[in-house]
Structure 1
């Protein structure tokens, strides 16, 4: 019952408030033109939000769906301060790192609900097709006051599409030179009393040995994603959303002879993962005549993973559950948010050959209060949260953020917040440790990690004269500084038997630096330039304190030009030197890509895209594994390994 707490509330509130006076609503066309900050619950325009939120909007999702239809890893990696790190050459597993911190400190939400953590926080999280998404919101820095423990480094909120009154239908087919094939379909429509969205997508990828060393650099993969949602409108001001998302994946990597079905005594190494993720959601929103609203969210996710290798077998399950009830009350010059949530996960090993972690469960109950005070030129957002956890006590999490607009061009923003993270042996790390080597957390001796983070920034925005098409030219410049300190960091160590155990260190992990970016629209050119300087250090080490595989310097740029029926774009990023786990230094490298798209009539769009134009690969600088082909040890990844990739997609849209 605790996994489905409060579900009856939706029916009670729907009946109670279905006769409320209708609210004057904005036309759908105007709503589409306004970027809303869903992560703050107060639906503020992004330029007015005290909390720094960066949004990749619907147009970005539509363009990305023709470039990388399988997932969102590429578009997230284009944002300054965000690093997508592949942690396994065999499985292709990746995680999201923000401001130099490990991936386990980034909280990933789907429609405001945290469902990806621990054992379920690895494979497939970034394989969410952009065609199914309305937008992606990113918060860099602590956001634990809003969504609980875990959002120490930052937060990624993935927002699903909603139906509009106009019938939508899009079908997309894609093929790449890595022999990746994708077929995605999205349909949606809003009627008077109900609406629907429906997404189905399939991917087939054959294994590729790009550097010809006998091992796969891209695993063989087959996946299917289904995401139907039903929207009910009992009244003009009430919405009930019922949805299910299913993701089913199978991949195999390792020795190419084994993958092709030709193992022998010298070729036996492989890793096969079969994952199944089922997520059920129930959402209810009731708006009132005074513009206040009541929101209820409930989700339950069941993640199953079956690992098979030449040395081990493991079948395990993790269930994630989340329920939240919140009330938003606008008043004169201020907005109040009051809420409570219950969330957690339960891990259960079902069968295994070599595995040492028993069944365990982590959960928390949280109460939160947030106030947004709007003055003439200043907006102050303050919040408090108290989480009560099952194994690690309670955590008080205050947060304050402020934005001040000097005039229509200049503004400044600052904030400070606190967070925590409960220990979990199965949380994503910089590298993937063998599952059979992991030891369980000792809850008697291991404390939760606690963090404090602050940010300060200066913004400049300028709108110029209209261009020939009537669109206004504009430029936006952001200069931000950040600092995050994590106390009691839980760090992996090896015992005398080669097992991996986790313990608290007495000195903190500190990440600091600055982030600079510019966005501009000039004569139908869309431009982006970003630079991030990061110093991320493990202060508990006496020397070589840098966090491995973290570039101090990273630069990114994109440029997109629209013609009448054409679009052409380029992007480039430079990743500076990094430190390997053995303290040696990697070279910096340049990554570049180019695309061109063409509209064919009213319904068809074709896209030709090339990633990694200069074909930079880690394997050009070092071998990807040591040891023998029978018993390899793979080196940590700090650069691409799949080489130059060209893909061609065709999109049909009503």
Structure 2
């Protein structure tokens, strides 16, 4: 009997010694709560075997006792902890993003596949959190300046009086760039006015840019490219920032952002106020910078009924008044001659509703909806106009990832309705646009290092008919240093008499669209080669050489008639833009260096002579040099060379010019940052080369703008971080 008892005790001890357990854990981004998949778990120098089960990681074959585990994920700080096995409850591990996560591992949302930027067949360039924080202290009121720093992107100011501007990509007009917020189009037609001039950088997590056709995923309008503005989301850590700014052009800004979430609910809220006095920089009697008063509010509420569901409800209100023209009138000393002015009063109300549902296995169902009402009053010394544009957008999409391929598919409806409110007489009538569409995109591995992406969109516009838009892209990595992308796609844009132009036209002179006008259709390709190499420490180099071509058939062209009216018609031939774009990014310990060159040939082939697209430089070069003493000082110098451009008025060439800027930043601990910045160090202005207007003071005709007109500007800003993110414990 004693021998039997001893035998069973021995067997039990052996069983305990050989017992192995499984630990389940979920890794999340500590600042956003986003689930991180594909993390590495190590014990000492040994990587532990693990498997994925929906959003959880199972760590297998753990013996009883204490285990010192390290959880790591690229772009995040590693988290070390001691776990006692057996552990019956699943763990939630929160990783803190590194302050300088490498751009090549950035995950972007514009691809809709959650791919890392370096592996995506669709080329996306990202201006991330660091750039948004910096721009918040340089140009707190809007994102126009930071977009203009990207190679191949040109910010075109269309009015000297109002300051209105639009985004041009790869030599094409601004109306071919689609501007969206979290994938939802809000800025087109009449509501596109002042779009990029009313979006503060503090309200954004990042900006994603696609150069070339993106119509398959985002519909009509993304012919030249796409600018996707990604909103911030609350994190588990309390977040709060206040920015105070003042410039030598008498611009003053107050911006604030607050955010926090817990397991069930979360919120974030942005509020900003801007005041700008009218300034006559060149002393010609007319404002070069309009008087501006603006208020922007953007609260969002988040509800998390489960770990797999996110519901977001938001509102954005933008209220702005711009007044420019004769300085005597603006200052209240007008007489019978000094009467010219233009005042724009805009109110933009936008509501958005988003539901995200993780279905397990990485599958994701998403519903987006937005409605927006944009009202603009235009008052001049001769005319008053008031109009409203109502926009709506709804989309249901499904993402299905597999080990070697993935699918994105969805349906959407988008439209707008323009209504003329009681005003002085205009030639336009009320009109609307309505489109329903469906899209599908396949992304799959052809070989280990080759990814193919094929997409197809079918749209039906109630007035202009049906459009089928295929797109094909290929990404291949030759080795750890070299890779290439190839992409080709179709696009279209329906005519709209109120879409943004390179030159603002008086709304009372715009004629209704002719009955026989047709939609514009495009064909485009992009090809590129990339080289990257990492050195010891924090040093690396990235080189991108890209080639592009876009051809637009049936281009809609504005013609000014002898009586001053403006009519839009299809031209007889096409518009083409082609060229190449080269940029180099170099990180050397505390130095960040960037240099980019863009060569563009943009031609209007429907013209017998002077085919070049006006106000478009053939050659543009830009550079940035940044030096940082960690957690103390930062110094930056940037510059750009813009080659000669053809004037709109007489096709003569403008001079080439240099633009320089200098930044000095000082940090006081973790929460306070003081920034001094000087834009246009060389004080280059178009008014130094030519008068900005012709005709009498009482009825001036302003020339097209091809260079800065606001001159040298110095600003001083103070950024206060109300809370600091606590390190992992």
TM-score range, shorter chain: over 0.9
* Structure 2 counterpart SS, 1:351: coil
- State the TM-score, normalizing by the size of structure 2: 0.85
Deviates more, 1:373-382 or 1:623-632: 373-382
In the alignment, the residues of structure 1 paired with residue 517 and residue 159 of structure 2 have an alpha-carbon distance, to the nearest angstrom, of 27
Superposed CA deviations along residues 532-551 of structure 1, whole A, max 9, x for unmatched, are 00000000000110000000
CA displacement at 1:125 relative to structure 2: 2.9
In the alignment, structure 1 segments of 5+ residues that lack a partner are: 1-19, 467-471
In the alignment, the residues of structure 2 paired with residue 334 and residue 571 of structure 1 have an alpha-carbon distance, to the nearest angstrom, of 42
CA contact 1:105–1:154 (8 Å) conserved in 2: yes
Specify which of 619, 625, 633 is matched with residue 559 of structure 1: 625
Specify which of 239, 246, 249 is matched with residue 178 of structure 1: 249
In the alignment, the residues of structure 2 paired with residue 216 and residue 461 of structure 1 have an alpha-carbon distance, to the nearest angstrom, of 47
Q: Which residue of 2 aligns with 1:213?
A: 284
Q: Which residue of 1 aligns with 2:111?
A: 40
Specify which of 412, 418, 423 is matched with residue 495 of structure 2: 423
Q: Which residue of 2 aligns with 1:577?
A: 644
CA contact 1:438–1:500 (8 Å) conserved in 2: yes
CA displacement at 1:344 relative to structure 2: 1.1
* Structure 2 counterpart SS, 1:66: helix
Q: Which residue of 1 aligns with 2:505?
A: 433
CA displacement at 1:126 relative to structure 2: 3.1
Rg larger in 1 or in 2? 2
State the Cα RMSD in Å: 1.3
Superposed CA deviations along residues 449-502 of structure 1, whole A, max 9, x for unmatched, are 000000100000000001xxxxx2111000000000000000011334321111
In the alignment, the residues of structure 2 paired with residue 494 and residue 265 of structure 1 have an alpha-carbon distance, to the nearest angstrom, of 29
Q: Which residue of 1 aligns with 2:665?
A: 597
Superposed CA deviations along residues 386-439 of structure 1, whole A, max 9, x for unmatched, are 000010000000000111000000001010010000000001111111111101
In the alignment, the residues of structure 2 paired with residue 539 and residue 122 of structure 1 have an alpha-carbon distance, to the nearest angstrom, of 28
* Structure 2 counterpart SS, 1:498: coil
In the alignment, the residues of structure 2 paired with residue 499 and residue 397 of structure 1 have an alpha-carbon distance, to the nearest angstrom, of 35
CA contact 1:439–1:501 (8 Å) conserved in 2: yes
Specify which of 282, 285, 290 is matched with residue 356 of structure 2: 285
Q: Which residue of 2 aligns with 1:300?
A: 371
In the alignment, the residues of structure 2 paired with residue 367 and residue 23 of structure 1 have an alpha-carbon distance, to the nearest angstrom, of 32
Matched, 1:356 2:400: no
In the alignment, the residues of structure 2 paired with residue 267 and residue 515 of structure 1 have an alpha-carbon distance, to the nearest angstrom, of 47
Specify which of 626, 631, 635 is matched with residue 699 of structure 2: 631
* Structure 2 counterpart SS, 1:429: coil
Q: Rate the CA distance shift 1:28–1:351 in 2: closer, same or farther, 3 A.
A: farther
* Structure 2 counterpart SS, 1:119: helix
In the alignment, the residues of structure 1 paired with residue 163 and residue 97 of structure 2 have an alpha-carbon distance, to the nearest angstrom, of 41
Any runs of at least 4 consecutive aligned residues in structure 1 with deviations exceeding 6 A, and if so which? none
Q: Rate the CA distance shift 1:490–1:174 in 2: closer, same or farther, 3 A.
A: same
CA contact 1:457–1:481 (8 Å) conserved in 2: yes
CA contact 2:187–2:195 (8 Å) conserved in 1: no
* Structure 2 counterpart SS, 1:584: coil
For 1:83-482, list aligned pairs within 5 A. Answer: 83-374=154-445, 375-442=447-514, 444-466=515-537, 472-482=538-548
CA contact 2:54–2:362 (8 Å) conserved in 1: no
* Structure 2 counterpart SS, 1:70: coil
* Structure 2 counterpart SS, 1:64: helix
Superposed CA deviations along residues 622-647 of structure 1, whole A, max 9, x for unmatched, are 00000011110000000000000000
Q: Which residue of 1 aligns with 2:715?
A: 647
CA displacement at 1:124 relative to structure 2: 4.1
CA contact 1:23–1:289 (8 Å) conserved in 2: no
In the alignment, the residues of structure 2 paired with residue 542 and residue 89 of structure 1 have an alpha-carbon distance, to the nearest angstrom, of 30
CA contact 2:439–2:455 (8 Å) conserved in 1: yes
Q: Which residue of 1 aligns with 2:49?
A: none
In the alignment, the residues of structure 2 paired with residue 428 and residue 510 of structure 1 have an alpha-carbon distance, to the nearest angstrom, of 19
CA contact 2:198–2:318 (8 Å) conserved in 1: no
Higher RCO (Cα < 8 Å, 6 or more apart): 1
CA contact 2:55–2:362 (8 Å) conserved in 1: no
In the alignment, the residues of structure 2 paired with residue 197 and residue 363 of structure 1 have an alpha-carbon distance, to the nearest angstrom, of 32
Superposed CA deviations along residues 31-62 of structure 1, whole A, max 9, x for unmatched, are 98452120011111000000010000011101
CA contact 1:458–1:478 (8 Å) conserved in 2: yes
CA contact 2:143–2:196 (8 Å) conserved in 1: no
* Structure 2 counterpart SS, 1:234: strand
Superposed CA deviations along residues 563-604 of structure 1, whole A, max 9, x for unmatched, are 130000010000000000111110000000000000112321
Specify which of 52, 55, 70 is matched with residue 141 of structure 2: 70
CA contact 1:73–1:127 (8 Å) conserved in 2: no
Q: Rate the CA distance shift 1:194–1:305 in 2: closer, same or farther, 3 A.
A: same
CA displacement at 1:28 relative to structure 2: 4.7
Alignment size in residue pairs: 629
In the alignment, the residues of structure 2 paired with residue 464 and residue 380 of structure 1 have an alpha-carbon distance, to the nearest angstrom, of 30
In the alignment, the residues of structure 2 paired with residue 235 and residue 248 of structure 1 have an alpha-carbon distance, to the nearest angstrom, of 36
Q: Which residue of 2 aligns with 1:527?
A: 593
* Structure 2 counterpart SS, 1:100: coil
In the alignment, structure 2 segments of 5+ residues that lack a partner are: 1-52, 58-91, 724-729
CA displacement at 1:524 relative to structure 2: 1.2
CA displacement at 1:338 relative to structure 2: 1.0
Q: Which residue of 2 aligns with 1:57?
A: 128
* Structure 2 counterpart SS, 1:315: strand
Superposed CA deviations along residues 167-210 of structure 1, whole A, max 9, x for unmatched, are 01100100000000000000111111011111000000000000
In the alignment, the residues of structure 2 paired with residue 143 and residue 301 of structure 1 have an alpha-carbon distance, to the nearest angstrom, of 23
Q: Which residue of 2 aligns with 1:510?
A: 576
CA contact 2:191–2:389 (8 Å) conserved in 1: yes
In the alignment, the residues of structure 2 paired with residue 208 and residue 505 of structure 1 have an alpha-carbon distance, to the nearest angstrom, of 40
Q: Rate the CA distance shift 1:119–1:358 in 2: closer, same or farther, 3 A.
A: same
* Structure 1 counterpart SS, 2:535: strand
- State the TM-score, normalizing by the size of structure 1: 0.95
